[in-house]
Structure formats: structure tokens, C-alpha cells
Amino acid sequence: MVHVNVGSPAGAYSVGSTAFYRYVVRLGDFGLPMHAADRDAIDMLAAIPNAFVDEDEYSGNGWRIVPATSYEDWPVLEATPARLRDALEAARRVLWANAGSAGISAREITTVDDEIENVLSVLARAEAAGFSVNVTYVS
């Protein structure tokens, strides 16, 4: 099982759906046709670090990887809520437009869509409070 964790001082949510990981976090791996702006947004999702892998610090537009500071910690993707929202909305658009090519079932796309909505609500609270968000996954 894979858990994608999104959190800030304004709230947190843990996505427990492997479909979310496969079709949102790793959407860029499918090689689906998309606009350059969508590709840029989705590439940020692929940078979400695994809790068990050491990551170097690197960044993009509105996000950065923060390396683990100790063995009790793990690296996280730190992003502005707006940047992560844009990435999730781009992933949703691309996934719905290419569901057949991606091989996603009706049940999986519904689950993924529900999970995106739950994460978006966390992002809205973080943005309203002026916080950035941290994202990681644990398998």
C-alpha cells in the first residue's frame, strides 16, 4: 500500500489509494499527450519523494525538495498550495482526457477524482492561512 501524505499547519490528509499514486503522482510516466503547461505541472508531482530514499535538494517553480535532516525524518516536497493545486488540476484534466490510453478503470478514476477533491480541500485551508504544504509518500 502507498500513502501519499499532504500536510500543513492548517490540516493534513493521507491518500491511501494506490490508484492515486499510479495515475496522479506517476502520470508523467505514461507518455500521454499534453500541453507544455500541463507537462510542467505534472512533472512537479513526479518529484514527490519516497520516504525511504535519500533525495538531494532541488527545486522548481513554486516547489522544492527538502532533504531529510535525520534518520527519524524523511525528505518532503514543499510547495505552495496554488502550485500543488495547479498540478492536481492538470493531472485530473489529462487523466480524464486520456483515461483509455492510461488504462484506468471507471472505479479507479472515480476514486482518484475523490482523492483529488480531498487534497484540494486541504490546500484551500493551507492557502487561506498562508502556509506552504509538504508532500511525501510511504510505501
> Which cell goes with 109?
478514476
**Is the per-residue pLDDT at 55 higher than 70?**
no
What secondary structure letter does DSSP report for 50?
A: B
5: burial class by Cβ within 10 Å (0-12, 13-18, 19+)?
middle
pLDDT digits (tens, 9 = 90+) for 61-111: 888 888 888 888 888 889 999 999 999 999 999 999 999 988 999 999 999
Strands (E), the chain: 3-8, 11-15, 59-60, 63-66, 76-79, 133-138
| Enclosing H/E stretch for 103 | none
Predicted local distance difference test score (pLDDT) of residue 57:
64
Cα 75 versus chain centre, distance? 14
Alpha carbon distance 55, 77 (integer Å): 10
CA distances (Å), origin 55, targets 35, 59, 76, 79: 28, 11, 9, 16
The verdict on pTM exceeding 0.75 is yes
Answer whether 20's CB lies under 8 Å from 4's CB. yes
Predicted local distance difference test score (pLDDT) of residue 59:
82
